[in-house]
Amino acid sequence: MEKDTKKLVISQKKIKLFFTKVVCLHCQKDITERMNTETGQRWKHKRYQYKKSGYTFCSNQCSFFLRNKESSLRMKKNNPMMKLETRIKMTNTLKRIGHKPPVQGGNGRGLTIPQRRLLESLGVGWYPEFIFVTGDKKRTYPYHYKLDIANPTLKTTIEVDGFSHCSISAQKKDKKKDDFMRSMGWKVFRFTNKEIMDNLKWVVGSIT
């Protein structure tokens, strides 16, 4: 028993690396004491990682979360669709082959089937293609916004998005519109055509 105790003390001295300050790269939790005293294989790996790279994590959850975030950022950065010339090339190709969305909606084309279904389910007080005048004299925003479905009494607007809203430029315009409406005290909901057609009850429940 005495020998075992001595071995433990010696092994603890061996792994004592005298880290002065070590924090988790993700949550910033101070793990200096554990780095200096823990004897398990897991913490041996953490010490090795810290000496090699200058950072470590307090748990697998922190490691997974941050690495997953870094992977996502790396994928966005390397995505060819983030380059303007690639998007122009794709647009020209689609025009050349005559591609267009199977369901086209928007200004001057009337309501789409998903818009009509949602409007019928919402009942009284909701209006399609509602005109909201921005009153913007600096021309930062359009003279007016056309809201897909709106309830002016509840100050709530619902945007029904088709495939054309998937592009980066369309998403920027949508965000600008949403931010403006929210700044005016309106609630903004966005649903895709598929969400409305596949799960209308859930969509209506989310709004009301």
In a domain, 90, yes or no: no
- pLDDT: is 191 or 70 the higher one? 191
Q: How far is CA 93 from the centre of its chain?
A: 29
Please check whether residue 128 lies inside any domain of the structure.
yes
Q: Are residues 196 and 119 in the same domain?
A: yes
pLDDT (tens digit, 9 = 90+) per residue, 149-202? Answer: 999 999 999 999 887 777 777 888 889 999 999 999 999 999 988 899 998 999
Strands 156-161 and 187-192: parallel
**What CATH number should be reported for the domain holding residue 158?**
3.40.960.10
Q: How confident is the model at residue 13 (pLDDT cuts 50, 70, 90)?
A: very low
- Inform me whether the pLDDT recorded for 71 exceeds 80: no
In a domain, 84, yes or no: no
71 and 117 belong to one structural domain: no
The domain boundary, picked from 23, 52, 77, lies at 77
Shared-domain flag, residues 60 and 120: no
Q: Tell me: the pLDDT tens digits for 127-154?
A: 999 999 888 777 788 888 899 999 999 9
Q: How far apart are CA 65 and CA 21, in angstroms?
A: 22
Q: Is residue 9 part of a domain?
A: yes
**Is the domain of 193 the same as that of 117?**
yes
Strand order in the sheet with 144-151: 127-133, 144-151, 156-161, 187-192
Does 184 map to a domain? yes
121 & 202 share domain: yes
DSSP 162: -
Q: Which residues pair with 48 in a beta bridge?
A: none
Helices (H), the chain: 2-15, 32-37, 41-53, 60-78, 84-96, 113-122, 168-183, 193-198, 200-207
At residue 2 the predicted structure's pLDDT band, cuts being 50, 70 and 90, is very low
* Residue 94 within any structural domain of the chain: no
How many Cα atoms are found within 13 Å in the side-chain-facing hemisphere of 198? Answer: 5
Summary mean pLDDT of the chain: 80
Residue 7 has pLDDT above 50, yes or no: no
Q: Which domain holds residue 58?
A: 2-77
User: 69 with 124, same domain?
Assistant: no
Same domain assignment for residues 130 and 71: no
Residues 62 and 121 in one domain: no
Under 8 Å between Cβ of 112 and 103? yes
Are residues 129 and 198 part of one domain? yes
Residue 126 has pLDDT above 60, yes or no: yes
Based on the fold, state whether residues 118 and 202 are members of the same structural domain. yes
96: left (phi over 0), alpha (psi -120 to 50) or beta: alpha
Instruction: Output the six-digit token pair for 171.
Output: 């998403």
Same domain, 50 and 136: no
Residues 151, 130: Cα–Cα separation, whole Å: 9
The verdict on pTM exceeding 0.95 is no
* Same domain, residue pair 117 and 52: no
Count: domains in the chain: 2
